[in-house]
């Protein structure tokens, strides 16, 4: 009998329009709306603590007879440390040195840092080559124009000296470079995203400074060597520089060498668990509508005439909703995969933890919905659920940063206001098992799953008592 | 003591038309008062025999649904006693006896997002039928209610008549001895109504006891073995249709249709018919026809006045019976006796 209740409740729900509107459609709409809004959410003027991993190798290079030492990774650290907010003396970054990416990821997960800048081994060499390439591009066309101008005026000597300078530059013609640095962080953190934006600006300015410096040095060298005049018109330099390097945003838990992504993609790659749970929470509307349908259309009255008992009916309903939660999560996960938001797959144990978390979240939602519909009429319950659960789902999904005051510490664990929302445990368990399986083992997600199970048992027990008495009691 | 099926019931014998029949439902002096002051049922007593189709006929608001809700245990009577299958109501609702009764309310009850077959399977499972029983019952009911062709169709996509049939078929999954139907033919077109009535007649052939309420006279006349007339919460008559007609308005009535019935016109009619009983319903005057000369007098009256549109001699109906008993029409219009 239980199997039939589960089977037909499941079929009944997934064939209903409400299901697709409320628990698939709405999360997708919010995804778009809040994704767009998220880009404008950063307005802090406090120093952001970030990590700095410098794997750069210093080098020396010569221009003519002069020798220069370059350690651009170190220079960039100094440059970033000195940056201040516009029209303010407040520094943008509070930088701490970190030894490895793994350490950076763990610190970012624990919110000890907003994120970390990773400078690769060949950073100085790449930036030097980048400077050479830029110098070649800028000076070659300029010298060529000057040489032509001199030849046209009949000043063959001057033309020849410009041509020799061009010959000198030709050694930069085939210089290759791959100027990439990386930022490791959690895109749901506004500090991480703000840091990333400032990092872009800092990198552009820093690279501009290096290229400009090298260009000037080399121009002076050519001027002195070939007795020519070079008027640098570097007004287009910054534009050129910004288009020729990249800063990868490596999402914590993301695969190594993550490709460059848009802000919205990054933002949602970690929000997927939140969206799944939001979708499940919004399922409460469908629960109430369908229970309301059963009440209004006297299906419950009809069932009371059969042999089904209240515990059987409620268990069947709750178990059915666990499958419905998995079904809807499957759909949303498929979309998330298609959009590239989910890129890491953990072990079987991770997947089992995720499945348990999703199923529990479904049961929890159905149980709380049944409790509500036990105490108020089905119509009031629908409005009540919308008023309570729609905003609640947004908080839990983490579409925007929200205050989360600490309530207390218990056995070394900090308990916050958000921890009191039972679905929060599901979000954290899913983040660990679905999104960060390369940081957390499945066992590390177990405490949240256990917490979720406890919440689910508590609310299920209340729903059993409340719904049985209010809606399924047989008159004797 | 009589044997009914495999069960033995004591003390519930009734002699009717020379046959011994067991009483399956006995309502004894039942009163239901809502909110302390609204009397929905007033000392209602009736008995329903096994294997008959018993109709509770009355206008909307007469108390039919209240009585059904008491029978199904949804409501508790304020006073009085109900025996079902020989068991006290309280015991009946507590025990497995209740599964021997099925109830079909006015509304169609099914899961709209499940197919016809799935609905039957679901409700059958709720009665803990075995897989084999389910299969057999579903096949049988699909055939009996002409639902075979639509068995894979979602219930919400069925026509009104099909939905009604599905609701009734679902109530038969537990093979009940008693089927209680609240307004089963309401809202159906005549063709579907006829088809549904045929299905209910078949159920009677299978030995089911059917207790139904209706305010549609045609349905009651076509299907009922016995009829109880209920008005304003009171049972005003219980008998076979023929007996009711014979007792209260005869086999034939004369119907006089006026353009506009006035008190003066009514007095004229009364002067003519003298010993006959007269009832009015809107602009109609209905007269029991006991003496053959009355019709001739009335036809002469028609030829003298333009206010009379027609004088018709016709077979009496349950509607007439109801009118003569209660002074009201079944459709809620004003009447008088």
Q: What would be the CATH architecture of the domain defined by B249-336?
A: 2-Layer Sandwich (3.30)
CA distance A455 to chain B (A): 30
Break chain B into its structural domains and give their ranges: 2-239, 249-336
Among B72, B93, B123, select the one facing A306 at the smallest CB separation: B123
Question: Residue B85: which region, alpha, beta or left (left: phi > 0; alpha: psi -120 to 50)?
Answer: left
Task: Summarize pLDDT for A211-228 with one digit per residue, the tens.
Answer: 889 998 999 999 999 999
Residue of A nearest to B92 (CA): A476
The pLDDT of residue B4 is: 31
Tell which residue, A295, A328, A130, has the closest CA to residue A212: A130
Query: Kind and range of the H or E element at A334?
Result: helix A310-339
Is residue A11 less than 8 Å (CB to CB) from chain B? yes
- Rounded Cα distance between A204 and A221, Å, is 25
CB contact under 8 A, B114 and A12: yes
CB of A303 less than 8 A from some CB of B: yes
Tell me, what DSSP letter sits at residue B145? T
What topology does CATH give the domain B2-239?
Answer: Rossmann fold (3.40.50)
> Taking the CB of residue A74, how many other CB atoms lie within 10 A of it?
15
What value does the CA radius of gyration of chain A take, rounded to a whole number of Å?
A: 31
Structure-block tokens of residue B307: 């206010």
Q: Which residue bears the tokens 């009691």? A: A473
Query: Which residues of chain B make contact with A301, given a CB cutoff of 8 A?
Result: 74, 105, 109
Q: Which residues of A touch B73 (CB under 8 A)?
A: 474-475
Convert the pLDDT of each residue in A132-143 to its tens digit: 988 888 888 888
Q: CB contact, 8 Å: B72 with chain A? A: yes
Contact status of B102 with chain A (Cβ, < 8 Å):
yes
For each of chain B's 337 residues, which pLDDT tens digit applies?
333 333 333 333 333 344 446 899 999 999 999 988 889 999 999 999 999 999 999 888 889 989 998 988 888 899 999 999 888 888 887 888 888 888 888 888 899 999 999 999 999 999 999 999 999 999 999 998 889 999 999 999 999 889 999 999 999 998 899 999 988 888 788 888 888 888 888 888 888 999 999 888 888 888 899 999 999 999 999 999 999 988 888 888 888 898 888 888 888 888 887 766 788 888 888 888 766 677 888 888 888 888 888 888 888 888 888 888 887 776 654 555 5
Task: Tell me which H or E stretch contains B187.
Answer: none
Burial class (CB in 10 A: 0-12, 13-18, 19+), B10: exposed
* Out of A8, A298, A306, closest to residue B114 by CB: A8
H-assigned helices in chain B: 64-72, 89-94, 116-126, 131-144, 160-171, 190-205, 217-223, 241-248, 263-273, 293-304, 318-326
Answer yes or no: is the ipTM higher than 0.95: no
Q: Which of B68, B89, B109 to mutate to test the interface with A (most CBs of A within 10 A)?
A: B109
Cβ-defined contact of A298 to B98 (cutoff 8 Å): no
Alpha-carbon distance of B313 to B257, in angstroms, equals: 11
DSSP sequence for A213-256: HHHHHHHHHHHHHHT-------TTHHHHHHTS-EEEEEETTPPT
Name the residue ranges covered by the structural domains of chain A.
Answer: 2-39+268-471, 48-252
Contact between chains at B174 and A306 (C-beta distance less than 8 A):
yes
Nearest to B199 by CA among B171, B239, B226: B171
Distance from CA of A15 to the nearest CA of B (A): 6
Across chain A, mean pLDDT equals: 81
Q: How far apart are CA A401 and CA A365, in angstroms?
A: 24
Using only the alpha carbons of chain B, give its radius of gyration.
23
Q: Are B210 and B53 within 8 A, CB to CB?
A: yes
- Distance, in Å, from the CA atom of B319 to the CA atom of A99, rounded to the nearest integer, reads 97
Percent of chain B predicted with pLDDT > 90: 36
Contacting residues of B for A10, CB less than 8 Å apart: none
Tokens of B322: 């109801």
Interchain CB contact of A475 with B (< 8 Å): yes
Give the bridge partners for B278, in sequence order: B287
**Alpha carbon of A424 to those of A278, A417, A429: distances in Å?**
10, 10, 9
- The answer, for B91 touching chain A at a CB cutoff of 8 Å, is no
Q: Chain A interface, mutation test: which of B122, B124, B152, B183, most A Cβ atoms within 10 Å? A: B122
pLDDT 10s digits, B140-162: 999 988 899 999 999 999 998 89
CA angle B271, B276, B281 (to 5 degrees): 85
């Amino acid at each position: 009998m239980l199997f039939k209740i589960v089977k037909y409740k499941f079929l009944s729900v997934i064939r209903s329009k409400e299901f697709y509107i409320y628990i698939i459609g709405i999360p997708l709409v919010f995804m778009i709306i809040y994704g767009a809004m998220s880009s404008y959410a950063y307005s802090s003027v406090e120093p952001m603590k970030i990590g700095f991993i410098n794997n750069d190798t210093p080098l020396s290079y010569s221009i003519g007879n002069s020798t220069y030492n370059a350690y651009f990774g170190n220079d960039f650290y100094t440059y970033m440390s000195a940056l201040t907010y516009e029209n303010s003396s407040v520094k943008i970054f509070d930088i701490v040195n970190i030894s490895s990416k793994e350490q950076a990821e763990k610190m970012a997960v624990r919110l000890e840092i907003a994120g970390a800048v990773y400078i690769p081994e060949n950073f100085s060499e790449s930036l030097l080559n980048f400077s050479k390439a830029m110098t070649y591009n800028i000076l070659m066309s300029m010298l060529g124009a000057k040489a032509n101008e001199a030849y046209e005026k009949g000043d063959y000597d001057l033309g020849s000296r410009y041509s020799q300078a061009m010959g000198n530059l030709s050694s930069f013609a085939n210089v290759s470079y791959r100027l990439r640095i990386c930022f490791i962080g959690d895109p749901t953190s506004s500090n991480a995203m703000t840091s990333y934006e400032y990092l872009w600006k800092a990198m552009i300015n820093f690279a501009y400074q290096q290229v400009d410096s090298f260009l000037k040095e080399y121009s002076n060298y050519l001027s002195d060597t070939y007795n020519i005049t070079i008027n640098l018109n570097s007004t287009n330099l910054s534009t050129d520089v910004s288009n020729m390097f990249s800063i990868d945003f490596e999402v914590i838990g993301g695969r190594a060498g993550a490709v460059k992504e848009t802000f919205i993609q990054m933002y949602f790659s970690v929000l997927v668990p939140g969206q799944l749970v939001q979708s499940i929470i919004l399922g409460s509307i469908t629960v109430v509508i369908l229970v309301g349908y059963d009440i209004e259309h006297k299906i419950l009255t009809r069932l009371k005439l059969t042999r089904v008992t209240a515990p059987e009916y409620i268990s069947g309903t709750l178990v059915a909703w666990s499958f419905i939660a998995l079904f809807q999560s499957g759909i949303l996960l498929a979309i998330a995969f298609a959009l590239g938001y989910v890129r890491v797959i953990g072990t079987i144990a991770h997947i089992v933890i995720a499945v348990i978390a999703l199923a529990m979240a479904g049961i929890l939602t159905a149980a709380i919905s049944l409790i509500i519909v036990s105490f108020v009429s089905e119509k009031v319950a629908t409005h009540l659920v919308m008023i309570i659960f729609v905003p609640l789902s947004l908080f839990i999904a983490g579409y925007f940063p929200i205050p989360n005051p600490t309530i207390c510490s218990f056995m070394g664990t900090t308990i916050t206001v958000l921890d009191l929302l039972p679905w929060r445990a599901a979000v954290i368990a899913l983040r660990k098992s679905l999104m960060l399986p390369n940081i957390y083992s499945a066992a590390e997600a177990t405490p949240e799953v256990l917490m979720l199970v406890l919440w689910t048992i508590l609310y299920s027990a209340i729903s059993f008592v409340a719904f049985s008495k209010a809606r399924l009691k047989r008159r004797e | 003591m009589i044997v009914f099926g495999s069960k033995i019931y004591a003390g519930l014998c009734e002699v009717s038309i020379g046959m011994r029949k067991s009483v399956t439902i006995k309502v004894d002096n039942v009163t239901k008062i809502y909110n302390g002051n609204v009397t929905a049922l007033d000392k209602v007593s009736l008995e329903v025999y096994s294997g008959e189709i018993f109709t509770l006929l009355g206008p909307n608001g007469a108390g039919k649904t209240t009585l059904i809700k008491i029978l199904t245990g949804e409501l508790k009577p304020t006073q009085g006693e109900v025996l079902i299958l020989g068991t006290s109501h309280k015991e009946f609702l507590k025990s497995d006896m209740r599964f021997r009764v099925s109830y079909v309310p006015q509304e169609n009850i099914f899961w709209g997002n499940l197919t016809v077959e799935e609905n039957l399977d679901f409700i059958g499972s709720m009665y803990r039928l075995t897989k084999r029983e389910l299969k057999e019952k579903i096949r049988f009911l699909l055939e009996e209610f002409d639902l075979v062709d639509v068995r894979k169709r979602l219930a919400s996509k069925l026509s009104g008549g099909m939905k009604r049939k599905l609701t009734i078929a679902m109530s038969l999954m537990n093979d009940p001895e008693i089927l209680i139907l609240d307004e089963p033919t309401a809202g159906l077109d005549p063709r579907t109504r006829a088809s549904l009535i045929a299905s209910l007649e078949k159920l009677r052939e299978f030995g089911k006891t059917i207790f139904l309420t209706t305010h549609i006279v045609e349905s009651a006349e076509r299907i009922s073995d016995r009829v109880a007339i209920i008005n304003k919460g009171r049972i005003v008559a219980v008998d076979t249709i023929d007996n009711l007609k014979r007792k209260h308005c005869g086999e034939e009535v004369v119907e006089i249709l006026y353009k506009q019935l006035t008190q003066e016109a009514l007095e004229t009619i009364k002067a003519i018919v003298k010993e006959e009983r007269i009832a009015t319903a809107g602009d109609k005057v209905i007269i029991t026809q006991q003496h053959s000369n009355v019709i001739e007098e009335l036809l002469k009256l028609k030829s003298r006045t333009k206010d009379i549109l027609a004088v018709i001699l016709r077979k009496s109906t349950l509607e007439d019976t109801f009118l003569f008993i209660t002074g009201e029409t079944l459709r809620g219009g004003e009447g008088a006796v």
